[in-house]
Amino acid sequence: MRVTTMFGLSLGLSLSIVAGASVAADTATAQRLAQDAVIVDTHIDAPGELLSHWDDLGLATPGKEFDYPRARQGGLDVAFMSIYTSPEQDTTGTARQTAHTQIDAVEALAGRHPDKFALLRSPADVERLRAGGRVLLALGMENGAPIGDDLSQLAAFHGRGVRYITLAHSANNRISDSSYALQKQWGGLSPYGEKVVAEMNRLGIMVDVSHLSDDAIRDVLRITDVPVIASHSGMRHFTPGFERNLSDELAKAIAAKGGVVQLVFGTGFVNPKAAADLQAYFQAEAEFERANAAAVAAGKPVRSADEFDKAWKAAHPVPVTHIDAVLDQIDHAVKLVGVDHVGIGSDFDGVSGNLPVELRSVADYPNLVAGLQARGHKDGDIRKILGGNLLRVWTAVEAAAQH
């Protein structure tokens, strides 16, 4: 997920324990569980970051939220690398090339450090490949734009290792309506989008409903023959009116199909004020674009997008948020849909550093474990949330594939 225009503020903090945060007294116990459990994070935006500024993520990279040393410090085992393309790249026809280039970057990272990373294409290979402390890199495509109008591209990207696809991103596309779009195009999935879901089921690619409109999620659940995931979403219970987060109704529907809701860490999704500001931003941006279009038609000067964004950020500082906001989301989801249908999808490297103080990077999963323990979650249930549930769904989708 990328919303850099609004959430550009970085707090520059990395703390394990902060006053007011829910953490367990015995942090060593939390650290041991984080190291022993299989932690699967379904949304890390490292590939796009590598294209904008290359870093060797096998080494300590303080400017990013994912690198090997901190992943091992935090106990991360499976990192789904987000192959993100924008609506603008969809419009210009560059999305497919960009996606392949990002996959190349992930493959290069694993090839450069075979002792630290391995590419993961099947949940059946997790135990074998993570031996020796390797971090496993799986691929999730954020935005179905690279598929274009060609269903055969699904098999091509499956062949390159893509194991989930977020059907749309911040704008409607040929597949689906977006939760962010002020005007919906299809009233859910497009007819082509229905074919995309069916083909993903056939190939064994998980369908990701994060970013989709409510009606599109309902369409996915009506069509799919296998469980689906929300790779990085929050609970709308805490952010009323914010369609990007899941309603209780939809979360229960995903669980009823056997799926899993992977809860996000980003401030804009777990803090009510930040979520409200994000909704207001899209409204203001639409008005800004209308005003500029009118100015062009009248032969008058237009205001720059950079000027608009700078003014918006100054007027809407991102609120400081603590780990309790994420723990509240997990507690609510577990009570709502059951512990077997909840997981984590951080959005590290995708929200411009706007994260809870105690969840600043992949080193900080033990803080989440400590918080869950402090709130009374049993270690077996925590293991499910950290990765067991996602691996179960992935295994079911793979088993149902017909290729």
pLDDT in tens, 71-92: 999 999 999 999 999 999 999 9
Mean pLDDT in residue range 123-136: 97
**pLDDT for position 403:** 66
15 or 35, which is more confident = 35
Q: What is the 3-state secondary structure (H, E, C) of the chain?
A: CCCCCCCCCCCCCCCCCCCCCCCCCCHHHHHHHHHHCCEEEEEECHHHHHHHCCCCCCCCCCCCCCCHHHHHHHCEEEEEEEEECCHHHHHHCCHHHHHHHHHHHHHHHHHHCCCCEEECCCHHHHHHHCCCCCEEEEEEEECCHHHCCCCHHHHHHHHCCEEEEECCCCCCCCCECECCCCCCCCCCECHHHHHHHHHHHHHCCEEECCCECHHHHHHHHHHCCCCCEEEEECEHHHCCCCCCCECHHHHHHHHHCCCEEEECCCHHHHCHHHHHHHHHHHHHHHHHHHHHHHHHHCCCCCCCHHHHHHHHHHHCCCCCCCCHHHHHHHHHHHHHHCHHHEEECCCECCCCCCCCCCCCCHHHHHHHHHHHHHCCCCHHHHHHHHHHHHHHHHHHHHHHCCC
Domains defined for the chain, CATH in brackets:
27-271+320-400 (3.20.20.140)
Mean pLDDT in residue range 357-385: 98
Q: Residue 3: which pLDDT band, with cuts at 50, 70 and 90?
A: very low
pLDDT in tens, 220-230: 999 999 999 99
**pLDDT for position 8:** 35
**pLDDT for position 292:** 86
